Amino acid sequence: MSELFDAVDALIASRSPLPLPAERRRLRQAHALTLDEVAAALGVRRATVSGWESGKAEPRPPEREAYARLLTQLAQLYPASEHTGAPQDAPTAETSSGPAPTADAPTDGPETASQAMPQTPPPASASAGAVAAAAALPREAPAARPSPASRRPAAKKTAPAAPPAPGGAYAHGPLLVLDADAERHVSGYGIGGLILDVPAKSLPALVEWTLTQAQVGSQKLHGSGKDGDPLLVLTEAACERYGLPAVLSEAERLAGRLPEGHKVIKQLERADWQLTRRGLGPWARIYRPAQGGRRQCVQLCIPSWRALDGRSWGHASQLEPAELARVLGVYASRVMTPVGSTAVTGLQLMSALNPPTRASEPDADGRRHREHRPGSLGTEPVDPAPCEATDGHPVLAHLPRFHVRGPGERLFEEAYDWARDLTDAECLQRHLVGLDVNLAFGAAANGAVVGLSSPPEHVTGPVLDPAVPGSWLVDLSHVDLSRVKVGKQWRDLDGDLLPSPFTPSGQRPTGPAWYATPTVAYAVELGYDVTPVEAWVRRESGRFLDGWYKRLRDAYVATMADLGVAEKLSPQGFLEAMDGYRSRDAELGIVVDAVKMTVKGGIGKLQEKARGGGWKPGQAWPALARPTWRPDIRATVISRARINMHRKMLHLAAATGRYPVAVLSDCAVYAADGPSPLDVLPYGADGKTVPGSFRLGVSPGMVKHEGTQSVLWGADVLEQLGADGHVANLARYIKTGEVTAKDTGE
């Protein structure tokens, strides 16, 4: 009989009554519980609880009974008021027992509760029964907080709040994700579970509120830099609340902005707010000229307008507001507040960490002025050497319009795209294993000596100095990979099975060509003499990118550690930790991808090409006005990345006789008898492998497993895609094994 009773109890529990979604959210916020805390207590994902509160999903047994029990006890603590909907036991702005108001928390402004704060006992007004009920909850009850409804500003007008004091100016973090409910009430979701009521009724009022009361922004990354502007991320509902379209029309999307006559732009103009040249688009800056040294600028990010590119941010634009705030908040705290695409952010990070100017020493009148900061790129753009300029650059305006520059006229430092046919011995092996270098371009940027703010100097008949950055015209066709120096010893190798380190295609150069300093220095490292014909060198140089690399490296390593992939793991332990690491926290997986794309995009932006209609070869384009338009720095980093890759392959070949089958940028494919990277890389009992070769690990420059396919699969792809002597690059398909119709040309 007891079994029947248990079955009946379970059946009743499966239909446990639940309040409406809005009430579920109110109760959680009233007790200052974050989505993470509720999810952890119930053993579900953060997104699941968010879905229950938005009404997009309903809990199922056995979580439903526990969730209903939680809400029931919270309802006893914070019953809804019949008139205002505010919790009866919650302190109001006038009666809160918190600290006395300061300039950081103006009394005339809207209350900014709901942030997860240190735990405190329930208010004295709570009944003994309520206190007893609170003890049964998964955490000690903090001080009761006003609900969103109770925190809405009164109808009467209040005096504008004073600017927050510098010490606590950014108490609410770098950004807010704004969302509106069915009643058009706007909430701002910040980092750490923070939720703010947003009283602004229009976009100009929202900008004003953000700068005067929201306490949103970020501290500068360098003593000579500037603070980060607050970022507001608008959901579709928030866009509609502030008079913006939820999605752009086709014409607006192609233009990348709203038309100048849009009503919201007119509202901003009437309130004396200005937009930058890119207008009101997916990433928009709204500002007033600085007054008294105080910057007044707010940035908007609108995911539904395709602000968050799926190639960098994955499915971030589909996340709930609190989840999106977490993703962008982690990125902002570890990298910087996004200021556009990951490429734009990567470029801006360089200047934020290495500002172009600093305050001078006081003059005779005691005044300080802006002056050039040594070690930076300065404030003025520098023309590239003719060999470094991209096609159509003004320094090449004298060339015929359809002139095609060859290696003897153009510096062509790019990443590897090389492949060869399988040997007979490799065909007898069973697997093809891909090894991928972590943050390869970031690792190459570390320690790179690059030119700074001075223009390049032309030299005829120069002598190579590996410490001087520049571009060198030199013939490296005599370098024979069949006999090279590996370390300090000469070694005989099968040069036909290795790509040339001097060309992106891996083909041996046939005559003089332009190379960056690291490429020419590597030829000397291999044991060969070089005799440059001419060069463009930069005497003023430094390690401009070191701080940039370190910040991105730390962001990547810290986020991977949060996903369970720590540094200093054994090779086998690392492979096990990497297995399914994204499934442990999909949101942090998005951050990892964004950090990677920040590295690649930032380096790519150093050579941004002309875009948009109306441009003609020989004319300048906007990117050329930036001091960070530096194709020579990009060439140096890519040269170092390619040389680093070749050096690792060379050391592995010399020690084991293994040669790569294909190389694509930072991925190399090897034939092996087993499916694991451990079947390619020789690790000893002491956990060490070949010095100077590939090493498994999470740190930039070390490698991870990119994918494994069968040799039969590789032979089929080579046959399917090979034509006219072309060899398909297996590294392009090794991760998934999929070859699309686009690849086959069908």
DSSP one-letter string for 510-568: -SEEEEEHHHHHHHHHTT-----SEEEE-SSEE-TTHHHHHHHHHHHHHHHHHTT--TT
Fold designation for 1-91+110-116+130-150: 434 Repressor (Amino-terminal Domain) (1.10.260)
Helical spans, DSSP H, in 213-249 = 236-241
Q: How far apart are CA 199 and CA 207, in angstroms?
A: 11
Weakest-pLDDT range from 44-53, 90-99, 322-331, 342-351: 90-99
The DSSP line for 427-480 is HTS-EEEEEEETTHHHHHHTT--EE-SSPPEEEES----TTS-EEEEEE-TT--
C-alpha to C-alpha distance for 652 and 691, rounded to whole angstroms: 9
What are the two backbone dihedrals, phi and then psi, of residue 289, each rounded to the nearest 5 degrees? -55, 140
pLDDT for position 145: 36
**Res. 15 pLDDT band, cuts 50 70 90:** low
d(C-alpha 61, C-alpha 661), whole Å: 53
User: Which residues, other chains included, contact 380 with Cβ-Cβ below 8 Å and sequence gap of 6+?
Assistant: 453, 627
| Mean pLDDT of the residues in the chain | 86
| HSE-CB for 215 with a 13 A CA cutoff | 29
Q: How many CB atoms lie within 10 A of CB 479?
A: 22
Looking at 562-702, which runs of residues are DSSP E strands?
662-664, 667-672
Task: Report the pLDDT value the prediction gives residue 113, as an integer from 0 to 100.
Answer: 33
pLDDT for 668: 98
How does DSSP classify residue 230?
A: P
Average pLDDT over residues 436-464: 97
Instruction: Decide: 476 and 533 in contact? Cβ < 8 Å.
Output: no
Please say if the pLDDT value at position 419 is more than 70: yes
Q: Where in the chain is the domain with CATH 1.10.260?
A: 1-91+110-116+130-150
> Rounded distance, CA 304 to CA 245, Å?
9
Q: Can you give the pLDDT at residue 745?
A: 56
Taking 3-state DSSP, the helix, strand and coil percentages for the chain, each rounded to the nearest 5, stand at 35, 15, 50
> Would strands 703-710 and 431-437 be described as parallel, antiparallel, or unpaired?
antiparallel
The rounded distance, in Å, linking the Cα atoms of 339 and 300 is 9
> What six digits make up the tokens of 136?
């049964």
pLDDT computed for residue 480 by the predictor? 96
Distance, in Å, from the CA atom of 233 to the CA atom of 302, rounded to the nearest integer, reads 6
Average pLDDT rounded to a whole number, residues 30-59: 83
Contact status, residue 432 vs residue 419, Cβ threshold 8 Å: no
Q: Which residue has 């699941």 as its token pair?
A: 48
* pLDDT on residue 2: 62
Mean of pLDDT values over 321-335: 97
Among 54-63, 222-231, 431-440, 542-551, where is mean pLDDT lowest? 54-63
Torsion sign over Cα 434, 438, 442, 447: negative
The mean-pLDDT minimum among 286-295, 355-364, 461-470, 730-739 falls in 286-295
Q: Tell me what pLDDT residue 46 has.
A: 79
Q: How far apart are CA 476 and CA 183, in angstroms?
A: 71
Model pLDDT for residues 96-106, shown as the tens digit of each residue: 333 333 333 33
Q: Is the pLDDT of residue 183 over 70?
A: yes
Residues 395-404, mean pLDDT to the nearest whole number: 91
Whether the per-residue pLDDT at 545 is higher than 50: the answer is yes
> Quick check: 679 and 433 in contact, CB under 8 A?
yes
Question: At residue 92, does pLDDT exceed 50?
Answer: no
Question: Does pLDDT of 427 surpass 60?
Answer: yes
What percent of the chain lies above the pLDDT cut of 70? 85
**Structural contact between residues 434 and 707, judged by C-beta atoms closer than 8 angstroms:** yes
Judging by beta carbons within 10 Å of its beta carbon (0-12, 13-18, 19+), is residue 418 exposed, middle or buried?
Answer: buried
Task: State residue 411's pLDDT score.
Answer: 97
Assign 109 a pLDDT band (cuts: 50, 70, 90). Answer: very low
Whole-prediction pTM:
0.79
